[in-house]
Amino acid sequence: MAFLEFTRLDERSVIEYVKSVAALSSLLKLDDEGDAAEKLTVKEIGDGNLNFVFLVSNSAHSVIMKQSLPYIRCIGESWPLTKDRAYFEAMALEEQGRITPHHVPQLYHFDPTMSLIAMRYLPPPHIILRKGLIAGIQYPLLARHIAHFMANTLFFTSLLFHSTLDHKRQVAKFCGNSALCKHTEQVVFSDPYQISQYNHWTSPYLDPDAEALRHDNLLKLEIAILKSKYMPFPHSTLLCSVLLTHINFLIVFCSSRFSEQAQALIHGDLHTSSVMVTPESTQVIDPEFAFYGPMGYDIGAFLGNLMLAFFAQDGLVDQPDHRKAYKEWILETVEDTWNLFYKNFVALWDEHRNGAGEAYLPAVYNNPEVQLLAQKRYMTELFHDSLGFGAAKMIRRIVGVAHVEDFESITDAAKRASCERKALNLAKMLLKDRTKFEGIAQIVSAIRQF
Amino acid sequence: MAFLEFTRLDERSVIEYVKSVAALSSLLKLDDEGDAAEKLTVKEIGDGNLNFVFLVSNSAHSVIMKQSLPYIRCIGESWPLTKDRAYFEAMALEEQGRITPHHVPQLYHFDPTMSLIAMRYLPPPHIILRKGLIAGIQYPLLARHIAHFMANTLFFTSLLFHSTLDHKRQVAKFCGNSALCKHTEQVVFSDPYQISQYNHWTSPYLDPDAEALRHDNLLKLEIAILKSKYMPFPHSTLLCSVLLTHINFLIVFCSSRFSEQAQALIHGDLHTSSVMVTPESTQVIDPEFAFYGPMGYDIGAFLGNLMLAFFAQDGLVDQPDHRKAYKEWILETVEDTWNLFYKNFVALWDEHRNGAGEAYLPAVYNNPEVQLLAQKRYMTELFHDSLGFGAAKMIRRIVGVAHVEDFESITDAAKRASCERKALNLAKMLLKDRTKFEGIAQIVSAIRQF
């Protein structure tokens, strides 16, 4: 059976598909004699909002098959979404995997027609980090691994490392999906601050809180700044629609999604459900929102979701004290993640400062003092960006369309609302006052006070 | 005679060309009987660095014919420059003329093959503003006119007025010329701060000043920020080169030049030689550097060049006192230009705040207070951007490749250097401390202290 046009796969047809692709047949040893060829099992294991995910395995191997659908799975066909996003996910897996192979699952196969990615299965005990955080499991290497992932993927895709020409080439490859971008613009930067049919919250407890967001002028000012940093670079769609009428194969370059700040290749959705963990392993998955955007969007997503996990803890157990040590571990992880990121990133910058990067020409930034000043300023702005984006992402998870399991699994609504309110208030403060903070230790102190 | 491929026009062939184009023949009444057809005169009147400009006239009419050459005229063929810039100039003349018809000469004809623009001749007593400033002529309407031009062209091409889709369409039309952009990046944002074969200054007087620029760490930090606001959006060239191999007619969309901050359609070179004036009329010409970039780049160019004119005055006359009143008029013009710009721009914003503009959605920015706060913040950032870009442009005119006639016409080198040094020191201070200034009156006070 050949798959020459987009077909939504099910547990049956995915087997047909695997058999039709040589790379996958070979991994699963389907052409060999013996048991492997016979005993293929398929399980749909997707729990995300946007895709179907199948685990196809036999005694020889296990493969993840992820298919993007042309709408948001949890909302249904009423919210269409381009399935071209699989292309960007595949490209990002490849690029981030090249840069940090220990923290990204291997890409086996990509089929643009089917919007289908085949990649390495991360076997148990790998679980989604968010589930680990809900269960109260400590991951002693998490901060180090994520800091490594972020510092390397962000540095090596920025103009600190790239020449302008290389940067252009890379950005072109990742010119993204305007539908996905428009989606983020709406759900992260607009809806929480206006009346929207998609918004919901723990009602009636948080009714006044949600109302207050829509009347908080200072917050609206800050979100405007972040939105403009994230917003798609406004030209590519037309250029590409002109194109499309002429060259079909260029479709991957089209309906582009650029940030006003094309700082680096960002994962674009680096929350705690995009990370799979064991105590020894940290794997970053699902980069379908990847594009050249502001670095702080990734760092903020990760730190903001750790903070959500922190505030959920008291609702997850009967006695708040039961998770006291665990809450401390989360705060340490917040602090270590930023500090290790900072250290790694600046070390990479120092190492490559006489390289091809064109942001700070060595002939101009030609002494250790100016280098240090430039780095400090750069990192301070990145820190403030990260706090702002992190806060924006916390807010939208409490009053916007898509919530997080950390809070959703607290069944007592009053208790849940109380946890959410603390997180919301912290996030509001961070969004408004982020530039007053000089280091992550101050953030951790502020969290402790809530 | 037909002009089917690029031919550099001279005083002879430009007549052949005019005869071959119906729109121009008709304006000049070449097909009518009588004197007009016979007595065409041609004069090369270009004094810019990048083009040849012919005045073609007879008793019926006068037409300006401007041809772009594939190199920088004043440097010669050693510094090649794409002639596609004529396209952007024609598009900008048309767009800015549509928005502010009283301040932009009418476009009659554009020939992409010949890189040729035909436009209305601005007859005497119109002169280049810079020459008027050197001669000490006051233009009482200048501030009002330029403020009107800037407020309207910038507002109506920004996301405050455009929907995202319209903005995309417009930006696509103006995706510019990466060569021109690279040129600006180098001559404005890099060369003055590093050793470059193109730099020159009033030597030996300013040798230590030029040297000091290359060792001023704080200045280098600030210029990095402005450079990143101006820098081309880093993707278009590749996308377009891919394109080019396929669709030749799309050449005008290609080798794009985008700013990281695609805020509005800016003139891109709004110094005092890009403005022609009489006491009653103010006309903005030469928008060949036009692209969607930071608004402050235009405002800064104009204000910065007025400041250069201010500092040149003492060198232009034997007794400094002779130009005392004139210097005061320049300072008033600096102050009025910004203040009237501010007033006009905010009035346009208020008038259109419930329109299609997507930067501040009416449903989010839905009360007068937040509207006022958002405007104040926006205008303050724009003010600081303008000061920074203005300062950068002053510096590059003193130690970079292309100088200004205001200073160049001071024959006594010691005297010239003394004027230049004051301007340079003011510009350095503005570039470093621009965010400390709250209004233009403070800037004028600071200038008086130099």
Q: What is the pLDDT of residue A34?
A: 66
Q: Where are the beta strands (DSSP E) in A282-422?
A: 282-284, 291-293
Instruction: Tell me which chain A residue has its CA closest to the CA of residue B242.
Output: A250
A104-113, A155-164, A392-401, B96-105: least confidently modelled range: A155-164
Q: pLDDT confidence of B79, banded at 50, 70, 90?
A: low
User: pLDDT over 70 for what percent of chain B?
Assistant: 86
Q: What is the pLDDT of residue A291?
A: 84
pLDDT surpassing 90 at residue A49: no
Q: pLDDT confidence of A223, banded at 50, 70, 90?
A: very high
Q: What is the distance between the alpha carbons of residues B147 and B144, in angstroms, rounded to a whole number?
A: 5
User: pLDDT over 90 for what percent of chain A?
Assistant: 69
A242-251, A297-306, B276-285: least confidently modelled range: A242-251
Asked if A317 and A353 sit in the same domain, the reply is: yes
Q: What is the pLDDT of residue A357?
A: 86
pLDDT surpassing 80 at residue B378: yes
Q: Of B68, B87, B120, which residue sits at a domain end?
A: B120
Q: Supply the angle between the helices B295-316 and B368-399 in degrees, to the nearest 10.
A: 50
At B114, which CATH number?
3.30.200.20
Pair of tokens at residue B260: 């990281």
Kindly state whether residue B6 falls inside one of the protein's structural domains.
no
Q: What is the pLDDT of residue A167?
A: 80
Asked if B309 and B384 sit in the same domain, the reply is: yes
Asked if A151 and A79 sit in the same domain, the reply is: no
Q: pLDDT confidence of A65, banded at 50, 70, 90?
A: very high
Kindly state whether residue B79 falls inside one of the protein's structural domains.
yes
Kindly state whether residue A5 falls inside one of the protein's structural domains.
no
* Chain-chain contact of B363 with A292 (C-beta, under 8 angstroms): no
Q: What is the pLDDT of residue B48?
A: 63
Q: Supply the angle between the helices A413-433 and A440-449 in degrees, to the nearest 10.
A: 140
Asked if B116 and B173 sit in the same domain, the reply is: no
Q: What is the distance between the alpha carbons of residues B345 and A363, in angstroms, rounded to a whole number?
A: 40
Q: Is the CB of residue B102 less than 8 Å away from at least one CB of chain A?
A: no
Compare CB distances from B224 to A193, A194, A360 and report the shortest one's residue: A360
Q: What is the distance between the alpha carbons of residues A117 and A115, in angstroms, rounded to a whole number?
A: 7
Asked if A75 and A145 sit in the same domain, the reply is: no
Q: What is the pLDDT of residue A258?
A: 40
- What is the span of the domain harbouring residue B290? 127-449
For an interface test with A, give the residue of B173, B175, B230, B233 to mutate (most A CBs within 10 A).
B233
Taking residues A44-51, what's their average pLDDT?
78
Taking residues A46-61, what's their average pLDDT?
86
Q: What is the distance between the alpha carbons of residues B448 and B443, in angstroms, rounded to a whole number?
A: 9
DSSP annotation of A91 reads H
Q: What is the pLDDT of residue A237?
A: 37
The SS3 of residue B28 is coil
pLDDT surpassing 80 at residue A246: no
Using a CB-CB cut-off of 8 Å, the residues of chain A touching B198 are: none
**The total number of structural domains that make up chain A:** 2
Q: What is the distance between the alpha carbons of residues B443 and A199, in angstroms, rounded to a whole number?
A: 47
Using a CB-CB cut-off of 8 Å, the residues of chain B touching A242 are: 172, 250, 253
Q: pLDDT confidence of A39, banded at 50, 70, 90?
A: confident
Task: Quickly list H helices, A156-263.
Answer: 164-173, 178-184, 207-213, 217-230, 236-244
pLDDT surpassing 90 at residue A312: yes
Q: What is the pLDDT of residue A292?
A: 86
Compare CB distances from A364 to B190, B250, B364 and report the shortest one's residue: B190
What's at B421, amino acid-wise?
A: R
Using a CB-CB cut-off of 8 Å, the residues of chain A touching B237 are: 165, 168
pLDDT surpassing 50 at residue B249: no
Identify which has the larger pLDDT, B144 or A359: B144
Taking residues B309-338, what's their average pLDDT?
95
A77-81, A292-296, B187-191, B196-200: least confidently modelled range: A77-81
* Chain-chain contact of B239 with A233 (C-beta, under 8 angstroms): no
Binding-face residues of A in 181-200 toward B, CB within 8 A: 190, 193-195
Asked if B424 and B440 sit in the same domain, the reply is: yes
Task: Give yes or no for a contact between A30 and A19, defined as CB atoms under 8 angstroms apart.
Answer: yes
Identify which has the larger pLDDT, B126 or A168: B126
Identify which has the larger pLDDT, B373 or A85: B373
Pair of tokens at residue A181: 């971008």
Kindly state whether residue A107 falls inside one of the protein's structural domains.
yes
For an interface test with A, give the residue of B168, B170, B263 to mutate (most A CBs within 10 A).
B168
Taking residues B137-164, what's their average pLDDT?
95
Q: What is the pLDDT of residue A81?
A: 63
Q: What is the distance between the alpha carbons of residues A187 and B189, in angstroms, rounded to a whole number?
A: 38
Taking residues A81-106, what's their average pLDDT?
90
A111-125, A235-249, B182-196: least confidently modelled range: A235-249
Q: What is the mean pLDDT of chain B?
A: 88
pLDDT surpassing 80 at residue A175: no
Kindly state whether residue B286 falls inside one of the protein's structural domains.
yes
Asked if B113 and B236 sit in the same domain, the reply is: no
Taking residues A361-372, what's their average pLDDT?
91
- In sequence order, which residues have a C-beta less than 8 Å from that of residue B264 and are 6 or more positions away? B153, B154, B155, B157, B158, B292, B293, B295
Asked if A17 and A106 sit in the same domain, the reply is: yes
Q: What is the pLDDT of residue B332?
A: 98
Q: What is the pLDDT of residue B359?
A: 83
DSSP annotation of B232 reads B
Q: pLDDT confidence of B265, banded at 50, 70, 90?
A: very high
Asked if A158 and A17 sit in the same domain, the reply is: no
Tens of pLDDT, residues B19-55: 999 999 999 998 877 666 668 999 999 876 678 999 9
Q: Of A120, A140, A175, which residue sits at a domain end?
A: A120
Taking residues A145-150, what's their average pLDDT?
98
Q: What is the pLDDT of residue A182?
A: 72
Kindly state whether residue A6 falls inside one of the protein's structural domains.
no
Kindly state whether residue A283 falls inside one of the protein's structural domains.
yes
Using a CB-CB cut-off of 8 Å, the residues of chain A touching B360 are: 224
| Three-state secondary structure of B363-413 | CCCCCHHHHHHHHHHHHHHHHHHHHHHHHHHHHHHHHCCCCCHHHHCCCCH
At B376, which CATH number?
3.90.1200.10
Tens of pLDDT, residues A4-35: 888 889 999 999 999 999 999 999 998 877 66
pLDDT surpassing 50 at residue B10: yes
Asked if B115 and B74 sit in the same domain, the reply is: yes
Q: What is the pLDDT of residue B75?
A: 60
Kindly state whether residue B358 falls inside one of the protein's structural domains.
yes
Q: Is the CB of residue B363 less than 8 Å away from at least one CB of chain A?
A: yes
Asked if A220 and A327 sit in the same domain, the reply is: yes
Q: Of B76, B105, B120, which residue sits at a domain end?
A: B120
Binding-face residues of B in 275-314 toward A, CB within 8 A: 292
Asked if A424 and A439 sit in the same domain, the reply is: yes
